[in-house]
Amino acid sequence: MVNIILLGLVSFFTDVSSEMVYPLVPLFLTVQLGATPAIVGVIEGLAESTASLLKVFSGYWSDRLGRRKPLAITGYALSTLGKGLFYLSTSWGWVLCGRLADRFGKGVRTAPRDALIADSSDPRAYGLSFGLHRAMDTFGAVAGVAAAYFLLRHAPADFRPVFLYAVIPAAIGVFLLFFVREKRDRRSRTAQRLNLNWRELDPRLKAFLAVVFLFTLGNSSNQFLLLRAQNLGFPVRDVLLLYLVYVGVYGLLAYPAGRLSDRVGRRRLLVWGYLTYGLVYLGFALARQPETLWPLFAAYGLYSAATEGVEKALVAAIAPAHQRGTLIGLHATLVGIGLLPASLFAGLLWKILGPAAPFYFGGAMGVLTAAALAVVLRRPAQAPSGRERP
């Protein structure tokens, strides 16, 4: 449990940094640098998808080497360096470089870190461990958004000081990671050569990953939610408050949702989570008055709490121990790859058909994939020895 707490603190400080920056990026691009929503979609799609290609490889190498921690440290350090580029940005090209560096680091660190969490947990309590980690991570996001809001009250027209201060908590997160202890796998490295054959994977895992990828095609960057708020008349500081509602609800519910998934099963929470996403996006499409966005951002936090940690717990439960990092990375890679076409398509829909169009599409995809998930996870898995029944 000490490792879980330490990794949670690492993510807490990293998310303080990330969320000081993240909700300001689309506003910085469109208001101060003159970029269009389509450019926002290009930047977010390229950054998230390019980084996500690394997640399966970093997960593989953590399995191959029997070491998770060095890759995690490298990834967190790269993200810290990337945030400094936002402070230097004078055009959207600089922002793209900053996002690529930040997400490159995330791609390197995510699967090894999540595998460290699984390695440090009781298999019967994966939901608890991942839920606790997501809660600490998200409370960092709450603190980060609150810090950005406070700083903007004193200099509402200049985002760059916020970007500079964001480097400090990111560096603290990297420092704390050195205190995490991992059990080094001393088996022969040649015995651990992995041949990830899609045909040999658990059928439910294959079906689940396919549905997740389909869902991601309708799940564009969260920055379109922030642009939608601005489109409906919210000033910059109030957009931050809306985002604070989202991360606050997410943080409060992530740990209880993880524990609940240990008791009632992952399938129920994931189906309801995807359905909630679909309804929330339809709500964003239909919204005409600014005040309707407050409950929608809160409901979006409920969706995130019910899915993000629970999805990781499901993959960790089904995956063989010697492939855990690789398969956790594969899941993250599929999610990230889908973000490129999803964000590009959302930007084009916004430009051609109007602000509501990407949310109608995302809402329809959410409802469709909720139904698909209910079908593919219907039968309980025959859990092999040493693995939990999801």
Q: Which tens digit of pLDDT belongs to each residue from 121-140?
A: 887 788 888 888 888 988 89
Place of tokens 């991360």: 247
d(CA 77, CA 325): 20
Phi, psi of 178 (to 5 degrees): -65, -20
* CA dihedral (215, 141, 128, 69) positive or negative: positive
**pLDDT confidence bin for 195, thresholds 50/70/90:** low
CA 19/CA 328 separation, integer angstroms:
24
CB neighbour list of residue 215: distance below 8 Å, 6 or more residues apart: 274, 338, 365, 366, 369
Residue 390 forms part of a structural domain: no
Output 295 or 120, whichever has higher pLDDT.
295
Percent over 90 (pLDDT), the chain: 31
For 72-125, what is each residue's pLDDT tens digit?
999 999 998 888 888 888 888 888 988 888 888 988 998 889 889 988 888 778
- Band (pLDDT 50/70/90 cuts) for residue 193 is low
Q: Are 263 and 318 in contact (CB under 8 A)?
A: no
pLDDT tens digits for 144-181?
988 988 888 876 667 888 889 999 999 999 999 999 98
Residue 383 in any domain: the answer is no
Token output for 246: 């989202």
- Please give the Cα distance from 248 to 93 (Å, whole number): 32
With cut-offs at 50, 70 and 90, classify the pLDDT of residue 384: very low
Q: Is residue 142 part of a domain?
A: yes
Average pLDDT, the chain: 85
> Stretch 322-330: mean pLDDT, rounded?
81
Confidence check: pLDDT of 14 > 90: yes
Domain count, the chain: 1
- Asked if residue 333 is part of any domain, the answer here is yes
Task: Please give the residue range of the domain that contains residue 345.
Answer: 2-180+200-376
Give 311: exposed, middle or buried? Use CB within 10 Å, 0-12, 13-18, 19+. Answer: buried
**pLDDT of residue 320 exceeding 70:** yes
CATH code at 7?
Answer: 1.20.1250.20
Q: Provide the pLDDT for residue 156.
A: 62
Is 262 domain-assigned? yes
Tell whether 187 is covered by a domain: no
The pLDDT, as a whole number, for residue 177 is: 93
Query: Between the ranges 8-12, 50-54, 106-110, 205-209, where is the mean pLDDT highest?
Result: 8-12
* Calpha distance 187→6 (Å, rounded): 26
31: which DSSP letter?
A: I
In a domain, 193, yes or no: no
Q: Give the number of other Cβ atoms within 10 Å of residue 252's Cβ.
A: 17
Q: Cβ(272)–Cβ(295) under 8 Å?
A: no
32-74 residue pLDDT tens: 888 888 888 788 778 877 777 787 788 888 888 888 899 999 9
What pLDDT, on the 0 to 100 scale, is given for residue 75?
Answer: 92
Taken as a whole, the chain contains a residue count of 390
pLDDT of residue 225: 93
Q: Tell me if 188 is assigned to some domain.
A: no
One-character DSSP codes across 332-378: HHHHHHHHHHHHHHHHHHHHHH-TTHHHHHHHHHHHHHHHHHHHHT-
Q: What percent of the chain has pLDDT over 70?
A: 92
